[in-house]
Amino acid sequence: MAAAIERLATDVLILGSGGAGLFAALHAHKAAPALDITVAVKGLLGKCGCTRMVQGGYNVALSPEDSVERHFMDTIQGGSWLNHQELAWILVVGAVERVLELENEIGCFFDRNPDGTIHQKAFAGQSFDRTVHKGDLTGIEIIGRLAEQVWARRIGRLEEHRAVALVPAADRSGIAGVLMIDMRSGAFRLIQAKAVLLATGGGPTMYRYHTPSGEKTCDGMAMALRLGLGLRDMEMVQFHPTGLLAGPETRMTGTVLEEGLRGAGGYLLGGDRERFMHRYDSRGERATRDIVSRAMFEEMRRGNVTPNGGLYVQMGHLGPETVRRLFKGMVDRCADCGFDLAGGLVEVVPTAHYMMGGVIFAADTSTAVPGLFAAGEDTGGVHGANRLGGNGVANSTVFGGIAGDVMAPWVAREGRIRDPDETVIDETIERCLVPFRRPAGDANALRDRLAELMWEEVGISRTAAGIRRALARLDGLAEELGRTGVAEAERAFNLTWHDWLNLESLILVSRAIATAALARENSRGAHYREDFPQPGDLATSAYTVVSLRDGRIEVEAQPVAFTRVRPGETLVAGAGVPRAAAAS
Amino acid sequence: MSEPRANGPELSVEVWRGRAEGRFQTYRVPLRPSQTVLDVVTYVQRRIDPTLSYRFACRVGMCGSCAMMVNGAPRWTCRTHVARVAKDRRLRLAPLRNLPVIKDLAADMTPFFDKWREAEARFLPSSPRAAATARIPPADPERAAADAAIECIGCGVCHAACDVVAWQPDYLGPAALNRAWTLVNDARDADRRAHLAAVAGDAGCHACHSHQSCATFCPKGLNPTASIAGLKRASALALLAGRL
């Protein structure tokens, strides 16, 4: 018998309201204005998620002296040759169209040169200054404008709706819809849809220090695993070197202090107040994100730490006034929290920032399940082993727009409301209600233990022994969570219940990360194995694919197809062997 | 739940519990050197009372989800350090004013977003998608006027601070009008007159009494009152010229 829950139907259901979700909604609406489109989001439309938090900007080859081939080569070298090259090509070509669309149609007012042309700034790991931006708050300009365009159209929105299962058709012919919890009322709600876009974003918040927004807990990847989809490159988790370390029990800890601080000449100091980076890399503090993060981790492991267990960033030697002028946003933010970035020392720590891995998807954003599409940080393959700063927002907006373009005609051609698999609905409801059937416990203490475990054993520097320990303990944490309850006061806006559900997603995706990390016995991009420090043979590069089978995470290796360029070659005319661009 | 430690300095925090009807409940939270109002609320939910509801997302002043009334004033809580606002180690926290309450500290921001639509505060394109971007120097006076108002995060603080919003429910409010001003100054927009017309009515810019509360409390340091004054001037001139 079908569960007695509210059931709604829509033509296109979009999960997430970052760059991918909002572009998909606008493009699908433009392609077929009569379509019933619904955007469902865990927070408020346009307010949660990570596109909004973009500080740096948007990589795009606009200048006549630049080229999409150069952008492509930077992306492939940054990704240590693991990228899906067709997806990376679509990224660099699509970025040109999308950034013009953002400026000309959506209304983003990007910063200009004195002559009125678009300003493009330098960003690490790139052979050309190609990052379009609006000050250091580019994400707000992009998402704010997109949200205004969505509000103005007949596009439905379900805010504070948490997706808990991608529900397949009873006959397994495709996707039937998404089971959600209306967080405001606490009620389950099935949204049946002809097409579903998975665009919830990633967000490696299972690490002790992390940058993403608080609601990000890898729910999309967890749902994809449960549906049986394969996820690639899950061992590739990017750490940003300078997260703010404000002490325990403050949500400020882990948030990003921008890349530019090091680029401008900022120093990193140990607890002994001495610089240390030159001992690790001749570029010192200006080495790439992965190298600086590893050096910092090593220094912390040696115990050369600040009172809160991190390191210091020092800017004052550049002149406090200069620092204030160059980094107003960062100086203000630190000052609000009681720290003097311009003149004093601020404690920092490497912080988990972005997941390069995710759901395997095709160039038209389709997945292995008919009717289910995916775009943005939920997906894997575009960035390979590491992501260039400025390619994240390009990824979500380029592929989100494509998803909208593709879903509209797909719905007209093949779309239908399919009967949902009621077993999946019943089992998911049962799973979500587990905490109300157990004695109330402290799920947040479990989350702290998860964060500690992932940080120590599956973080910046990994070994087989450590990853194996982590896998065993992750199983233990999952069991403990299953015994840990939440006091059932009322289900409406019950954050503690959602903390429990968040933790469930995080533990499952942590298992996927650890399994992939154990399988990759070399060091590429963001993945560093102390026991296998070499990158391995580039010509025979393989990527990992994890999937969930009968409750176990399985992993396999797939060869990378060098469809456009092989290691040692370049697409940049006259460049010879391209210089090693570093990922950042 | 682990009990809060009893030793060390503490804050006394009164928190609104309930919906339109409700009451303040008092909690004792340890005072820490690095502590925002959002951290205080989080402590209560994680360590004392797991049923407390509130909203946040980015933690760094970019998303505009976490604003609430702090000792009577609207503030972004993720970047409001306790030391700056706690008088005699006391905090009184309530949901954002001028909006319906969903539960406890979470306000329903839908009416605030609806104002954007009512003000037609969204860019109207004039160039095809693939056209070269408009050449507008940063020093252009209109661009400078748009830039001064552009970095709104939609947090609702001005909406909560504004007395006209409280008296006149259909008033478009400082945030939507501030956005309209950026569009009126945007040379790329296809119909700047339409933007002006949309905010020139009784519920629009002329309803503003210039109390300046929006500018006083805007956490981004924007001045919506100045933007609205600009709209008043521009719409009056357009009216005189018969263009409205």
Domain span at A273: 242-351
pLDDT tens-digit series, residues A114-137? 999 999 998 877 899 999 999 888
Percent of chain A predicted with pLDDT > 90 = 90
Q: What angle do CA B160, A147, B68 make, to 5 degrees?
A: 25
Pick A246's closest partner by Cβ from B34, B38, B127. Answer: B34
B29 within 8 A of B4, measured Cβ to Cβ: yes
pLDDT tens-digit series, residues A305-351? 999 999 999 999 999 999 999 888 899 999 988 899 999 999 999 99
* pTM for this predicted structure: 0.97
B42 within 8 A of A499, measured Cβ to Cβ: no
Considering A262, A289, A387, A473, which one is annotated as catalytic? A262
Q: Is A468 among the residues known to form the active site?
A: no
Alpha carbon A450 to chain centroid distance? 19
A28 within 8 A of A20, measured Cβ to Cβ: no
Considering A130, A157, A161, A240, which one is annotated as catalytic? A240
Residue A2: what pLDDT? 86
Read off the pLDDT band of A289 (50, 70, 90). Answer: confident
Mutate to test the interface with B, among A99, A148, A153, A494 (most CBs of B within 10 A): A148
Which superfamily does CATH assign the domain made up of B110-240 to?
Alpha-helical ferredoxin (1.10.1060.10)
- Residue A509 located in a structural domain: yes
Q: What is the spatial distance between Cα A281 and Cα A288, in angstroms, rounded to a whole number?
A: 10
- Residue A269 located in a structural domain: yes
Instruction: Determine contact: A93 vs chain B, CB below 8 A.
Output: no
Instruction: Inspect the interface and report whether the beta carbons of B81 and A251 lie closer than 8 Å.
Output: no
- The alpha carbons of chain A give a radius of gyration, in whole angstroms, of 23
Which residue from A101, A76, A60, A18 is spatially nearest to A560, judged by alpha carbons? A76
A461 within 8 A of A530, measured Cβ to Cβ: yes
Instruction: Inspect the interface and report whether the beta carbons of B135 and A116 lie closer than 8 Å.
Output: yes
What count of other Cβ atoms lies within 10 Å of the Cβ of residue B169? 10
Q: Which residues contact A525 (CB under 8 A, 6 or more apart)?
A: A78, A79, A80, A82, A236, A290, A356, A384, A385, A386, A583
What count of other Cβ atoms lies within 10 Å of the Cβ of residue A452? 13
Per residue, the 3-state secondary structure of A317-346, as one string, reads: HHCHHHHHHHCHHHHHHHHHCCCCCCCCEE
- Residue A90 located in a structural domain: no
Phi, psi of A350, rounded to the nearest 5 degrees: -60, 150
Range with lowest mean pLDDT among A172-186, A189-203, A281-295, B91-105: A281-295
Q: What is the spatial distance between Cα A17 and Cα A423, in angstroms, rounded to a whole number?
A: 29
Query: CA nearest A42 in B: which residue?
Result: B57
Number of domains present in the structure of chain A: 2
Instruction: Determine contact: A2 vs chain B, CB below 8 A.
Output: no
Q: What is the spatial distance between Cα A580 and Cα B168, in angstroms, rounded to a whole number?
A: 62
- Residue A409 located in a structural domain: no
Residue A326: what pLDDT? 87
- Residue A398 located in a structural domain: no
Which residue from B239, B215, B242, B236 is spatially nearest to B226, judged by alpha carbons? B215
Q: What angle do CA A584, A128, A363 make, to 5 degrees?
A: 65
Q: Do both A344 and A442 map to the same domain?
A: no
pLDDT at residue A576 tops 60: no
Min Cα–Cα distance to chain B from A163, Å: 17
Q: What angle do CA A187, A191, A194 make, to 5 degrees?
A: 175
Pick B50's closest partner by Cβ from A103, A250, A496. Answer: A496
Pick B138's closest partner by Cβ from A114, A494, A495. Answer: A114
Which residue from B223, B94, B97 is spatially nearest to B160, judged by alpha carbons? B97
Q: What is the spatial distance between Cα A149 and Cα A139, in angstroms, rounded to a whole number?
A: 15
Query: CA nearest A46 in B: which residue?
Result: B63
pLDDT tens-digit series, residues A363-417? 999 999 999 999 999 999 999 999 999 999 999 999 999 999 999 999 999 999 9
Q: What is the spatial distance between Cα A42 and Cα B52, in angstroms, rounded to a whole number?
A: 18
pLDDT tens-digit series, residues A461-482? 999 999 999 999 999 999 999 9
Contacts A–B by Cβ distance under 8 A: 199
- Residue A405 located in a structural domain: no
Min Cα–Cα distance to chain A from B60, Å: 7
Instruction: Inspect the interface and report whether the beta carbons of A137 and B146 lie closer than 8 Å.
Output: no
Query: CA nearest A244 in B: which residue?
Result: B60
Instruction: Inspect the interface and report whether the beta carbons of B151 and A49 lie closer than 8 Å.
Output: no
A166 within 8 A of A175, measured Cβ to Cβ: yes
Residue A540: what pLDDT? 98
Query: Of the residues A513, A535, A557, which one is the last residue of a structural domain?
Result: A535
Residue A577: what pLDDT? 45
Query: CA nearest B125 in A: which residue?
Result: A105
Query: Of the residues A297, A322, A351, which one is the last residue of a structural domain?
Result: A351
What count of other Cβ atoms lies within 10 Å of the Cβ of residue A514? 28
Instruction: Inspect the interface and report whether the beta carbons of B43 and A440 lie closer than 8 Å.
Output: no
- Residue A328 located in a structural domain: yes
What count of other Cβ atoms lies within 10 Å of the Cβ of residue B239? 13
CATH topology of domain B10-107: Ubiquitin-like (UB roll) (3.10.20)
Query: CA nearest A440 in B: which residue?
Result: B1
Instruction: Inspect the interface and report whether the beta carbons of B60 and A336 lie closer than 8 Å.
Output: no
Instruction: Determine contact: A153 vs chain B, CB below 8 A.
Output: no
CA distances from A137 to A53, A425, A466, B151 (A): 7, 41, 38, 8
Give the DSSP letter of residue A487.
-
pLDDT tens-digit series, residues A63-104? 999 999 999 999 999 999 999 999 999 999 999 999 999 999
Per-residue confidence in pLDDT tens, chain B, 244 aa: 444 555 799 999 999 999 999 999 999 999 998 999 999 999 999 999 999 999 999 999 999 999 999 999 999 999 999 999 998 999 999 999 999 999 999 999 999 999 999 999 999 999 999 999 999 999 999 999 999 999 999 999 999 999 999 999 999 999 999 999 999 999 999 999 999 999 999 999 999 999 999 999 999 999 999 999 999 999 999 999 988 8
Query: Of the residues A535, A555, A574, which one is the last residue of a structural domain?
Result: A535
Q: What is the spatial distance between Cα B220 and Cα B162, in angstroms, rounded to a whole number?
A: 16
Residue B6: what pLDDT? 58
pLDDT at residue A152 tops 70: yes
- Residue A162 located in a structural domain: no
User: Across residues A265-287, what is the average pLDDT?
Assistant: 95
CATH number at residue A452: 1.20.58.100
Annotated domain spans of chain B: 10-107, 110-240
Pick A52's closest partner by Cβ from B51, B63, B183. Answer: B63
Mutate to test the interface with A, among B63, B136, B157 (most CBs of A within 10 A): B63
Pairing of strands A37-41, A156-159: parallel
Q: What is the spatial distance between Cα A360 and Cα B105, in angstroms, rounded to a whole number?
A: 40
pLDDT at residue A581 tops 50: no
Pick A247's closest partner by Cβ from B32, B60, B117. Answer: B32
